[in-house]
Structure formats: structure tokens, C-alpha cells
Amino acid sequence: MNATAADYRWLDDHCPELIEAYCLTLVRALSPADVLDRLRARRESTVTGVAALVGAAGEAWEANGAERHFVGVCELDGWAMVVEPNGYLGSLDEISAPLSKGTEVVTHFRNVNAVDHFSRYVDGELRLHFEPLFPYARDGADPDGAVALMRAVGFDLRQEGGDIDATTEAAFALAERLTGVRLTPELMDGARFLCGTAPGF
């Protein structure tokens, strides 16, 4: 798939309640149940579609506050997709490094203040990390290994005067390029999520 930021322009209109503040994590070759087990999450419910997932996240916040972290996990093309409406667990090194043991994790995050992160882990090692608003500043064991893909999906790597209009969409496109998992409005509406709440870390 040759995804670019333009392929994810639908996010603002279709998932506005999610895209403002989210964490999305893809884990290769683990089932949703395996992911919840690695997160030490308590299974809560099953819901279909991103709108229902956002609603379930709100209910979990009312019930648990900040003591537990809501996650919804579905299976897509050999990957488990973890979606956290207004969450951030996947953006934490102490979560994603162990989650990637024996496999691979690609995760991206944005909060309401436009703080954002994109990371790729392989078998416990951080290979790439950057903030989508500042894609020229990268770290990890292989910080330049995805530079060509970053440019291709729409990231402007100039340190000054760079275009930052579609960095969230570019993050989704880069995740697709790295995993082969393409997200569409139809997929997001039909995905069946196994939901749970993880303890604070």
C-alpha cells in the first residue's frame, strides 16, 4: 500500500470524537486477548464500531477516573489494533517496549494540546521515535530507517518552515506503510473491539 496523508483526510469528518485525542497501537501477531493480558487489563465488554468505543471509554472514565485506563482491541490482518480514546498508554516506553517482546509495535498518539508521538518497537527495542509536529527530530536505534517513507506519506522534514497541516493524517499513513494495515471509515465502523481497563503504570 502506498498510503499518504491524503488517504486519511476522512478522519476529521468521520471520527472527530476520536481524532482530537487518541492513542492507536498496532501489535503484530498477537490476539486481542493476548494484548489485554500483556497490559494486565481486566476485560469489560465487547463493542462494535469506533463511535461505540468512544462511548464505552467515556463510561469507563466515569466509573474509574484515572485509576484505570480504557483500551479497545480488535484484530486486523495479522495485527492487533489497540485504540484508546483520550488515552496514552501506547505512547509510554514502559508499556510499548515490553508489549513488543517477540514481535513488533507501531504506535502513535495525540492529545488535546497537540502533543504527539510516533514510535516503532521491535522485540523490546525502540527503533524509531519522533513527534509528528517535529519530524526532523528523531531518535531510537534506527532513527533514519524510515525517512524515505516519512517523506512519501507527507511529512515535511525541514527544520524551519515545514508544512504541519496534516501531521496526524501522515502518522496514520506511516503506520499503514510500516504494518500494511489500512484503516477506512467502513473498517472503523465495523470493527469489533474487545474492551478492557488496564491498571495505572
Q: How do residues 4-32 score in pLDDT, each as one tens digit? A: 999 999 999 999 999 999 999 999 999 99
Q: How do residues 171-198 score in pLDDT, each as one tens digit? A: 999 999 999 999 999 999 999 999 999 9
The pLDDT of residue 201 is above 80: no
pTM: 0.97
Q: What is the rounded average pLDDT for all residues in the chain?
A: 96
User: Is 28 in contact with 21 (CB distance < 8 Å)?
Assistant: no
Q: How do residues 76-98 score in pLDDT, each as one tens digit? A: 999 999 999 999 999 999 999 99
Q: How do residues 122-155 score in pLDDT, each as one tens digit? A: 999 999 999 999 999 999 999 999 999 999 999 9
Per-residue pLDDT at 32 = 98
**What is residue 58's three-state secondary structure?**
helix
Closest-CA residue to 188 (of 167, 172, 174): 172
